[in-house]
Structure 1
Amino acid sequence: MKKYGALLAAIVGGLLLAIWATTPPSARPADAPETLFSASRAMEDVRTIAAEPHPTGSAQNAEVRAYIIARLQSLGMEVTTTTGLVPERGLDKFGHWSGTRPDSLTFTNIIGVLPGKDRTLPAVAIMSHHDTVWASPGAPDDTAGVAATMETIRAINAQGGAERDIVAIITDAEELGLNGARQFFAENPLRERIGAVINLEARGGGGRTTLFQTSSDNGEAVAAYAAAVDRPAGSSLSAFVYEVLPNDTDLTPALEGPYTAYNLAFIGRSGLYHSPKATPDNLDQGALQDMGDQTLQLTRALASSDAHPGKTPNATFFDVFGLFTMAYGAIAGWVLLIATMALHAGAYLRREKGDNPLKALGASLGVIVGGGILLYVFNLVSGAGGEANYYDRLAAIPRLEVQALLLSIAVLAATSPWWAGRNYSVVGLVLALAAHFFAPTTSYLIVWPLLIAGLAGVAVSRVSDAVATPIKIVAGAVIIGFLLQYGHQLMQGVGPDYPSLVALIAALALPVLGLLVPEAKARPALGLAGICLLTAFVIALWVRLDPVADTVAAYASLK
């Protein structure tokens, strides 16, 4: 057991880093300093607005709208409203929800303007929507965004206001097709006075608030976020994945304009998405605190800047365990890639005499291909497929994450006799090179684990065993924590549909695992793999055979 001590220490360290990175902060109390965001204060608005469902056109929606208007006016904002008719497609959607298709529906946007000290400067807009889907109180989606907007403006007032105007765009009929946002960015004259837009959303009831989308040519925009937000979350990988998927938010019509734009959302506790149980009591106040902290810090920075971020080439960016944002351009990306390739070439040349590099190659392919197949098959066993209830699958994500982790451990254990003691990855370098050519803003996920493992390999080859062990543990903890953090985000985002992507993340751990485990025996490794496979199979059956979750949207068909 002693020879696995460094591995166990690295795993524990990685778990702690990943937990820290993916856990939202605690909610500040109602008596927190006035200039800070307090989720406890914001919850007063959440409890009023999300007391019951309030879809577009309902009497409850009108009551919510009146409350929001009064609250914005109490904050010193100039408030106006605009109305429009929900198009036919939105009426069809409402009919699907309720069972009765209305002949017409009117939506109403609420626009509040907090005057700045220099009203000639382009304004900063914070956008959210006040409507809900049928039968959901919508405490997360999007009452959290509305409440975060109002608490942000209150805190800015407490600090003496802002240099620029701050606009609260609280749209209606987002759930019916982004109707309110489309109207605002197509028709409202105020759109010409806005320079930057922050949109707030939720797909679930908790978790870290992440920056998952920006305007194009985002180099300066990302730099502004990195400088302003002291506990960031988000990545250019999330932005890439979101652009590939057929998803939209109220920010979509804004992205057609010249604005510097940011999309912030939390997607944890995903079973609460559009759920009748999406109540104020079930909303994670830490997630609201996280959303509010980031919104307030970014709004203050944009509202006080001499000029809003301009258009510069897209940046590769990611948060490092929520401690800071790493961001760099294409040239730096190439430098990192070349350095990684050189380090792994050196590790290959330093390999022991008689070492067969085909074993390392086989391990990488075994984890990626074999693991990908296992993840796909077990996902089918768990009930994935055409008849699956989308909202029930969202509710199952925590169990699907455990299943994916167990399958990753199984395939890593099964291939351990091939990768133990080998600190290089040809397959990893090929994937990094391909990612950098075809999707450069995603390549960090591959490059950084390989780079750190390569640096650790060089370091341990030049020091004594007593010094080498802590180097291995630190490198292992950082890489394992990094991969767990982004594996968790991947599973939350697309796990029920594309869990096979986790196999790639597992393969990125091979070089550092090769440092931590100098040798492995087949029999115990296969025993561990078998235990993990059996447990994963039990979880898959549990997900498949359990009743439909009681959190599913009221309009969703049963599985």
Structure 2
Amino acid sequence: MAALVLAVGLAVLGSTPPPAKGPSAPAEGFSAGRAMADVKRIGRHPHPSGSREHATVRSHLVQRLRAMGLIVRTQDGAFPQEMRAWFNRHNGTAADTIPLVNVIGLLPGREPALPAVALMAHYDSVPGSPAAADDGAGVAAILETVRALSLDPARRRDVIVILTDGEEAGLTGAKLFFAEAPERRRIGAVVNLEARGGGGKANLFQTSSLNGDVARAWAATAPHPAGTSLATFIYSVLPNDTDLSVALPRGYAAWNIAFIGRAHLYHSPLATPQALDTGALQQMGEQALGLARALSQAAQLPGRAPDIVFFDVFGLFVLHYATAWGWGMLAVALIGYGALAARRFDIRELAGGAGRMLALVAISGGGLYLLNLLSGAGPAADYYDRLAAIPRLQAMALCACLAAGILIAGRKPATPSGEAGFAVPLWVAGAALQALAPVAAYVLTIPLMLGGVVALLRLRGNAGLAAGAVVAPLVGGYGLMLGYTLMQAVGPMLPMVAVLPLATTWLAFLQLRPAITRSAPLAAVLLAGAVALALWVRLDAPAASIPTYSEARAPSARK
């Protein structure tokens, strides 16, 4: 129980952004309190491209940049015809031309011949949303970052600020900048700031390719790091885009940072400055400032190097290593669990343990798939309404996973061979992931390695139990944190991702937990709770947070 409580505490620690610093924080650092003044100004009203409020926001941004000593210009264009039709449809307008205006600022460095560092965010909103988070937070974080950089006498490189227009309409402003702006040829590195929600951890979720040096630079500069190579891998196979998607083909060293908590605020009319999580803004700005300061002072920018595994450890620090280390971790796991099984080898028990782990994965995954359908998922579901349901879907997944675990794996294996059998399917999956996606395999290889070490220590007596009491909360805490994050990211469509942290956490706690004697009634209660949550999501009225242009809104409520 102590290990379980510690695991929950670590998961909360790793899922919570740092506290915001107030306006009186030291001038050389980032302060969310100072940045909020700009968020409040940007997020007063909806400001889609071409609107009067959009022009007002742009004027404010130009004035702010000039007041900090930047050389500022605007890049003018117009929406292309195909995006003009999309924009008019979503805004309820019929404009023949829609202006497209990027804001570009230059903070000169001591050595302007060196490739510059670019900070990028978009300042347009979707119709009907004040967009305090997406992307008022990103713009305000850049303004506060530039303010701090302007005080830095050690800055060697120029810093270019790119505030794009038309991001919400097909990345139109970014396409204009990287196609025509002369500044694009001077850039050597890009930091992009985004949001899909209104709070939570600000994660590094995308980098340029061959990111070994890029990831190490981030790890060395982020005071409260949040980011993983698993996230960069998942994002690389998703169809999503940000302004950085336009920049990446040009070969810049690049980082993309965003928060996705409070997902109901994504493109929402409720995305006001008052609703923004200032801790998320603090974490986003700290990472942007740390990177920008180091890059602007560096004699050489990060180059292309083999991809590495990296992840933050509960927001405290970053672990990173070469992908080949994963094979060594799997070898340690094989030796450890093999030695445990050999202590009293029983092939039937080994196969039984493996079968129970496979059943746990298959039944929990299948159950989550069915519960997701019961909750209303499918082609007809409104994406934004599903985002608003994420907390309930997270609770649904937790109940279902616990029910499956208690029912299928509640009885502790009778022999060490049975315990080792639980690791066999995960070891095979870890080897496959290590071969196919080594930057993402750490979520299996590290728990397996730690479990193998505990298994070896168990052969030496009580040292194994003590080691297990340390490893279980570490693996379990990370598993809970990972499950929480994965459900935020893709849970409304794929809650089955919760099976991965379930399996690793169950394996880590295997030797510590007592047998659960009354498993069926407890599992039934948890399953009933999961069904009730799914029905609640399905039968609930459309969320008040969904965008004004959403089809889920009643016609009379649309603007």
| Inter-CA distance 96–516: structure 2 relative to 1 (3 Å threshold) | farther
Pairing 1:538–2:532 present: yes
Query: 1:328 Cα shift?
Result: 1.5
Q: Contact 2:65–2:105 (CA<8 Å) still a contact in 1? A: yes
Q: Contact (CA 8 Å) 1:81, 1:108: kept in 2 or not?
A: yes
CA contact (8 A) 2:313 2:319 kept: yes
1:319-468 equivalent positions in 2, closer than 5 A: 319-351=312-344, 356-417=349-410, 420=413, 422-423=419-420, 424-464=422-462, 467-468=463-464
Matches within 5 A, 1:495-514: 495-514=491-510
Q: How far does the alpha carbon of each residue in 1:267-307 deviate from its partner, in whole angstroms, 9 at most, with x for none?
A: 00000000001000000111100101111111111111121
* Farther off after superposition, 344-353 or 25-34: 344-353
Structure 2 unaligned blocks of 5 or more: 554-559
Asked whether the equivalents of residues 455 and 464 of structure 2 are also in contact (C-alpha less than 8 Å), the reply is: no
What amino acid sits opposite 2:166 in the alignment? A
- SS of residue matched to 1:128: strand
Give the drift of 1:544.
1.1
Deviation at 1:461, TM superposition (A): 2.9
Partner letter of residue 546 of structure 2?
V
Task: Decide whether the 8 Å contact of 2:332 with 2:453 is kept in 1.
Answer: no
2:169 is paired with a residue whose SS is coil
Q: CA deviation at 1:519?
A: 3.8
1:482 pairs, out of 478, 483, 508, with 478
Match of 1:96 in 2: 89
| Distance (Å, rounded) in 1 between the aligned partners of 2:208 and 2:344 | 46
Q: What amino acid is aligned across from residue 334 of structure 1 in structure 2?
A: W
Moved more, 267-276 or 360-369: 360-369
Partner of 2:229: 236
Q: Could you tell me which residue of structure 2 aligns to residue 69 of structure 1?
A: 62
Paired residue secondary structure (2:544): coil
Match of 1:556 in 2: 550
Render the CA deviation track for 1:21-63: whole Å, top value 9, x for unaligned: 1101111011111111110100000111110010001111111
Residue 156 of structure 2: which of 144, 154, 163 is its match? 163
> Percent identity, aligned pairs only?
43
Q: 3-state DSSP class of the match of 1:256? A: helix
Inter-partner Cα distance in structure 2 for 1:441 and 1:229: 20
Per-residue deviation, 1:468: 4.5
The runs of 5 or more residues in structure 1 that have no matched partner are 1-7
Q: Distance in 1 between matches of 2:467 and 2:366?
A: 34
Q: Please report how far the alpha carbon of residue 185 of structure 1 lies from its aligned counterpart in structure 2 after TM superposition.
A: 1.2
Please tell me the root mean square deviation across aligned C-alpha atoms, in Å: 1.5
Q: Deviations over 1:450-485 (max 9, x none)?
A: 111221222233133xx5444222111001111111
Instruction: Give 2:476's aligned amino acid.
Output: I
**Paired positions, count:** 548
CA distance in 2, matches of 1:141, 1:225: 23
Structure 2: distance between partners of 1:469 and 1:368: 26
Cα drift, residue 548 of structure 1? 0.9
Tell me, in whole angstroms, the C-alpha distance in 1 between the residues paired with 2:12 and 2:481: 8
Residue 288 of structure 1 pairs with residue 286 of structure 2: no
Q: Residue type of the partner of 2:113?
A: T
CA contact (8 A) 1:207 1:266 kept: yes
Secondary structure of the corresponding residue to residue 103 of structure 1: coil
Aligned residue type for 2:495:
P
Q: 1:221 to 1:351 in 2, by over 3 A?
A: farther
Q: 1:57 to 1:328 in 2, by over 3 A?
A: same
**Which residue of the partner structure matches residue 557 of structure 2?**
none
- Following TM superposition, the consecutive aligned residue runs of length 4 or more in structure 1 with deviations greater than 6 angstroms are none
Alignment match, 1:174:
167
Answer yes or no: is 1:48 the counterpart of 2:41. yes
Q: Aligned residue for 2:556?
A: none
The corresponding residue for 1:472 is 468
- Calculate the TM-score normalised by the size of structure 1: 0.95
In the alignment, which residue of structure 2 is the partner of 1:528? Answer: 522
**2:11 is aligned with 1:21:** no
CA contact (8 A) 2:340 2:459 kept: no
Deviation at 1:351, TM superposition (A): 4.6
TM-superposed CA distance for 1:342, in Å, is: 2.2
**What are the Cα deviations for residues 491-523 of structure 1, in whole angstroms up to 9, with x where unaligned?**
0110010111211321122322221125443xx
SS at match of 2:34: helix
CA–CA distance in structure 1, aligned partners of residues 437 and 344 of structure 2: 32
2:360–2:409 contact (8 Å) kept in structure 1:
no
Shift of 1:158: 2.8
Q: 1:3 maps to which residue?
A: none
382-391 or 453-462: bigger deviation: 453-462
Q: Greater shift after overlay, 409-418 or 549-558?
A: 409-418
Instruction: Give the aligned partner of residue 85 of structure 1.
Output: 78
SS at match of 1:110: strand
* Counterpart-to-counterpart distance in 1, 2:314 and 2:185: 38
